[in-house]
Amino acid sequence: KAGVTQTPRYLIKTRGQQVTLSCSPISGHRSVSWYQQTPGQGLQFLFEYFSETQRNKGNFPGRFSGRQFSNSRSEMNVSTLELGDSALYLCASSFQGINTEAFFGQGTRLTVV
Amino acid sequence: TQLLEQSPQFLSIQEGENLTVYCNSSSVFSSLQWYRQEPGEGPVLLVTVVTGGEVKKLKRLTFQFGDARKDSSLHITAAQPGDTGLYLCAGARGGATNKLIFGTGTLLAVQP
């Protein structure tokens, strides 16, 4: 069974640009969550999607957005990039809808210059 | 506000030693998960504990969930260099969400 796939693995962007990251969950998993990991703040929750609906959102500015498609694949978008957005962005998928184990992808390393 | 505090933050030990990592909170969690993460990779799930007082063993790793479901510990017996990595605890509050609240992390280095 394939794991969680995130693309791309690495990205370098310039301040002010926007970026879209992609996540394909484990087959059969309907819940996808996104996290930002930085050395200073650790792993912080961005948002969660279940059956194409955003079910929960963390404390991030509106520049961070996401969506989920009917095949459960998810994308997150960051607009007007800032230097502080440089981080490892992690996607996690879960099988059932409520309070279950999360399986993470390898992440996308975003560097904003 | 960091809801889950891990200690110690850093740990460097020799192969064969034992160690314990703690994960503490003032909040109650419906379940708690432990992950290990290697540089540049995503966290890998080690175990999930659900019941207060629960103890789970995974080879040389022993996980315990506090009776009040506010804290947890990870004990490694006879550590090996392959145990090196960042250990993260993560709590779930329950309800209709898979949101996890992550701990501050413990960076473990096991020297051969």
Question: In whole angstroms, how far apart are CA A90 and each of A24, A71, B11, B70?
Answer: 12, 19, 25, 26
Q: Across the interface, which of A35, A43, A106 has its CB nearest the CB of B41? A: A106
pLDDT in tens, chain B (112 residues): 557 999 999 999 999 999 999 999 999 999 999 999 999 899 999 999 999 999 999 999 999 999 999 999 999 999 999 999 999 999 998 777 889 999 999 999 999 9
Which amino acid is it at A30? R
Q: What is the mean pLDDT of chain A?
A: 94
**What pLDDT, on a 0 to 100 scale, did the predictor assign at position B93?**
86
Q: Across the interface, which of B30, B43, B98 has its CB nearest the CB of A104? A: B43
- Nearest-CA distance A24 → chain B (Å): 14
Percent of chain A whose predicted confidence (pLDDT) is above 90 = 90
Nearest Cα residue in chain A from B32: A101
User: Which contiguous run of DSSP H or E holds residue B26?
Assistant: none
Testing the interface with A: which of B4, B38, B87, B98 to mutate, by most A Cβ within 10 A?
Answer: B98
Q: Across the interface, which of A6, A45, A50 has its CB nearest the CB of B100? A: A45
Strands A87-94 and A108-112: antiparallel
Would you call B85 an interface residue with chain A, using a CB distance cutoff of 8 Å?
Answer: no
Confidence at A87, pLDDT banded by 50, 70, 90: very high
pLDDT value at A84 more than 60: yes
pLDDT value at A77 more than 80: yes
> Nearest 5 degrees, angle CA B83-CA B86-CA B92?
115
Q: Which DSSP string do the residues of A46-60 spell out, in sequence order?
A: EEEEETTEEEEE-S-
Confidence at A1, pLDDT banded by 50, 70, 90: low
Would you call B50 an interface residue with chain A, using a CB distance cutoff of 8 Å?
Answer: no
pLDDT tens profile A23-45: 999 999 999 999 999 998 999 99
- Nearest-CA distance A107 → chain B (Å): 6
**What pLDDT, on a 0 to 100 scale, did the predictor assign at position B3?**
79
Strands B61-65 and A108-112: unpaired
Q: Is residue B74 within 8 Å of B87, Cβ to Cβ?
A: yes
Token pair of B7, please? Answer: 């200690």
Testing the interface with B: which of A5, A90, A101 to mutate, by most B Cβ within 10 A?
Answer: A101
Is B97 close to A4, i.e. CB distance below 8 A? no
Cβ contacts of B45 on chain A, cutoff 8 Å? 101-104
Strands B10-14 and B106-111: parallel
> Nearest 5 degrees, angle CA A41-CA B68-CA B18?
65
Name residue, tokens 């997150």.
A76
Calculate mean pLDDT across residues A92-107.
84
Q: A5 exposed, middle or buried (CB, 10 Å; 0-12, 13-18, 19+)?
A: middle
